[in-house]
Chains A and B, each alone.
Chain A
Amino acid sequence: MIIDLHKFLETERPAWTELEQILGNLEDEPNWRMDLDQLKHFHYLYERASADLGKIVTFASEPETRHYLESLVARAYGEIHESRAKARRLDLPRWFFHTFPQTFRRHVRAFWLAVAVTLAGCMFGGLALALDPDAKAVIMPFEHLQSNPSERVAREEQSTHDHLAGERGSFSAFLMTHNTQVSVFALALGATWGVGTILLLFYNGVILGAVAVDYILAGQTRFLAGWLLPHGSFEIPAILIAGQGGLILGRALIGWGTRASLKTRLRAVSGDLVTLIFGVAVLLVWAGLVESFLSQYHEPVIPYSFKIIFGLIELALLSLLLGKSGASAAAETTEAG
């Protein structure tokens, strides 16, 4: 049987045109909300176009109309069957003080795993340097870390010249962008089933542990704390949170402990991964500013005690943000749900 195409098109075209107009409105104005009657009519038009597509595929070999209807049904399908919440206008303070810490806490086990891997790296790097000081060049292949810690401290404390004069802004911008790139890389390496993220976290830990042991063995613990704490109290947790994201992604790919399909698992975590990495970027902007404008200045310019206390206060505030912020809102949502 071949359908009367002319009559079919004449009858159905007004419904298709109306559906196309509604879809156009939805696409042009994402915040447009339909009332119940409009929604029912939209659903009716979608079902009618679907039925027409079924008819034209079965009873007429007319590719032009079929392709047109397929594209119409495909667009309407996305609108009708989408059950995820549509993006609302971004409320930045609410996002940073509620959504970000809530997301962090939801996946806190991945964070502790990232901490454990980094600590394992720290222990390895520290022990390797303590047992074999000649390994320094291999463990820390960075020129500025090769010198003797005591000599560096003496040089920095005696220096009357501001080596960052006129460059603090650009140095801080470099730190922000570089550290953000490393963090994105740590998260993205989760796509290697988490193996890449673990290796990166471990390597970061090795360098951190080696530097720490190098300065401690040289008797420069105060300098080390004053140097690292102000920016490290944000920078190190930020890298760990990026690693947390990578581990979440790795777990979703592996599918450990769940029977959901890969698509469902990835769909469930994708929003959280984006929240975590944007939160990390915000933390790293602050860390970059502090590292450039504070961390690089030592006694007698800035007392170590001030820098250490400053770093500890930052760490306490960050812990408060990640551990408590948005907790009441989350509880209210749970109760309401």
Chain B
Amino acid sequence: MNSSRVSTLVIRTPEGIAFSLPLACPVTRCLAWVIDIGCIMGLITIVGTFLRLASLISLDLGRALVVVGYFVVQVGYGIVCEWLWRGQTVGKRLLRLRVMDAQGLHLQFSQVALRNLLRIVDSIPAFYLVGGVFSLCNSRAQRLGDLVANTIVVRHLKLPEPDVDQLVAGKYNSLRDYPHLEARLRQRVSPREAGLALQALLRRDQLDPQARLDLFEQMASHFRSLVLFPAEACEGITAEQYVRNVVDVLFRPQVR
């Protein structure tokens, strides 16, 4: 396993594959913590209201239950949420963060309990100063509790299955009439340029109309400068359609 000073943790598996986990920055974690404090206060109010009902039987019993209830909510909130929701509290869920084992393995109950119990040291002298300093100095943004429990907090992005069918399937492509130029195009376009063109098409609906025109105009002129197709292949098609045809050529070579 391996880590870098950028905000990702790269894990190399015994199968020789590397995958990266995007680490949460201290500021986002702090915001999640603020949300969690609000939740704890809300829970304390609700639990306190219910437990006070015991005062109808005995005032002393009611007070005792409230004291224990407050303590259990304060200490147990993080442990219970992170254990039941596999590393998430309400704050972390809202900000799409998740606690994970630092080696990408299963999060164990002992890790969840330990990182939450060690908040007591991370929060001294006030406002998580110790924890904040530790996470700023640590390449994996771990506070002391994370370090001891061997956990990290990652950004948890819900990734849908990729869908490129809409871009490259079932449409006439005028560039395909020139196989020798297609081959030259595939040779001259780098994987990075191909990836950029594909991403531009995937995100085209998110662009402003003018920006979309400008971007595809620039891309089309770049691809035209790499390989010059005859005028009849490009006649009557927009810059965006030209880029779409290029992507089709690059990512779906025809089997002949």
Contacts and interface: CB of A to CB of B under 8 A. Distances in A.
User: Are A and B genuine complex partners?
Assistant: yes
Interface of A: 2, 4-7, 9, 13, 16-17, 27, 47, 50-51, 53-54, 57, 59-65, 67-68, 70-71, 73-74, 77-79, 81-82, 84, 86-87, 166-170, 172-174, 176-177, 180-181, 184-185, 187-189, 191-192, 196, 249, 253, 263, 266-267, 270-271, 273-274, 277-278
Interface in B175-220: 186, 189-192, 194-196, 198-199, 202
A61 B190 CA distance: 9
B103 interface: yes
A47 B157 CA distance: 23
A274 B109 contact: yes
27 contacts: A2-B189, A2-B191, A5-B252, A9-B164, A51-B15, A53-B19, A62-B162, A63-B199, A64-B202, A68-B160, A71-B19, A78-B104, A82-B105, A84-B106, A169-B58, A173-B63, A174-B67, A184-B120, A188-B117, A191-B147, A253-B148, A270-B149, A270-B150, A271-B108, A271-B110, A274-B113, A274-B117
Interface in B95-112: 100-106, 108-111
Contacts of B161: 13, 16-17, 68
Nearest to A168: B60
Contact of B162 (A9, A170, A188): A9
Contacts of A271: 108, 110
Contacts of B110: 270-271, 273-274
Given A2-B250, A188-B121, A77 B19 contact: yes
A62 B150 contact: no
Contact of A59 (B113, B114, B191): B191
B230 interface: no
A7 B252 CA distance: 7
Interface residues of B, number: 70
B159 A249 contact: no
B17 A50 contact: yes
A2 B108 CA distance: 41
A54 B165 contact: no
B50 interface: no
Contact of A177 (B14, B71, B159, B169): B71
Among B110, B111, B186, chain A packs the most CB atoms within 10 A around the CB of B110
Contacts of B120: 181, 184-185, 188
Given A169-B64, A180-B71, 10 more contacts: A5-B164, A5-B252, A6-B165, A13-B161, A61-B196, A71-B19, A77-B11, A81-B14, A188-B117, A274-B109
Interface in B113-165: 113-114, 117-118, 120-121, 144-145, 147-150, 157, 159-162, 164-165
Nearest to A267: B150
Nearest to B70: A177
A266 B108 CA distance: 13
A192 B122 CA distance: 11
B60 A166 contact: yes
B105 A81 contact: yes
